[in-house]
Structure 1
């Protein structure tokens, strides 16, 4: 299930670019995005392991609202 891990590298590169070019708010948002991506990838991996072990149901799939921001 390493097929989605590449997105974390892309997000890290984007954050580095944003930081180096004075885009602080974007860099902070990319931090949040990275956390969400990592949580979803981990959840997929847990679900795959559970299926391999014959377990049913979804493990850790409820990350609704994680990293959400409200803007005026």
Structure 2
């Protein structure tokens, strides 16, 4: 799938946030990675969400409340 690169970018951003003492941002980016993987898998083009986050796709049944805990 041509859009899988976004998962790697989001993972890199999460790593930066974690390494630089931004835990809430890291948590939000973790949710964002899951949401992106779900949308990529369910997109009309289909896909397999390969890459750094391939194992996480199975957990994306309902991430609609992402970011609402603040």
Normalised to the residue count of structure 2, the TM-score between the two structures is 0.67
The gaps in structure 1 that reach 5 residues or longer are 50-62
Q: Which has the higher contact order (CA 8 A, sep 6+)?
A: 2
Q: Look at both structures and tell me which one has the larger radius of gyration over its CA atoms.
A: 1
The answer to which structure has the higher helix fraction is 1
Unaligned runs of 5+ in 2: 47-61
Q: Which runs of 4+ in 1 moved over 3 A?
A: none
| Aligned-residue RMSD, C-alpha | 2.0
Task: Give the structure-1-normalised TM-score.
Answer: 0.65
- Do 2:28 and 2:67's aligned partners in 1 also have CA atoms closer than 8 Å? no
Report the count of equivalent residues: 55
